[in-house]
Amino acid sequence: MKTLVVGGTQDFGLGLTQFLGEKAFGIGRTNGYDLTKSEVIDRVVAMSKEYEVVVVVANAKNRQPEVVEKIALEWIASDHPGYLICLGTSAVYHDKYDREPSVWSYLRMKQGLSLLTKYIGWQVTNENVKMRFTNIQVGRLDNQAARSRGPFKTGIKSEEVGRIIRFLIDTPRHLCIHELVIDPKY
């Protein structure tokens, strides 16, 4: 399937783009798609309708929910039959109140993405729209950033998420898998 990986040009996202094959195209800062800029988000939203599957990996300085929301609204309005998938974080399910204040904005953004999942999921399930949507809440990734912080034992690899995405794509169109939560065994 023709797949767009938003945030698919570096590290984990690049590995995901490569795993998804020759019909997958990754975009990010390195090839002119800096999602911290509103005009670029608008370009990506317009571009998204050319794809059967769009996977939003990029955090984009906490603008990921905005990107997902704008794509979903455009797809609903235009009756696009694509599959929108985003990568959230399982950290929103693990209550740990002594987290460093430096990660609070990240967690707030990802919790907003989780809430957005419920709104989009309701639309997909209860309204007559063609699109499908899943938020994959992932735990620690096996990427350069995770390996560079403290003791690293294991993480979720891009090809493992890629296999899950392939599974989702292959599910019958009448099924709505709104959210999956995956963590590595530490």
Q: What is the pLDDT of residues 133-163, one digit of tens each?
A: 999 988 888 888 777 877 778 889 999 999 9
Structural domain of 79: 3-182
**CATH number of the domain to which 78 belongs:** 3.40.50.720
Q: What is the pLDDT of residues 67-125, one digit of tens each?
A: 999 999 999 999 999 999 999 887 776 666 566 777 777 777 788 888 888 899 898 88
If one counts the domains in the chain, the total is 1
Q: How far apart are CA 65 and CA 15, in angstroms?
A: 22
Q: How far apart are CA 144 and CA 32, in angstroms?
A: 22
Q: How far apart are CA 14 and CA 25, in angstroms?
A: 9
The reported pTM is 0.91
Q: How far apart are CA 19 and CA 1, in angstroms?
A: 13
Cβ proximity of 138 and 90 under 8 Å? yes
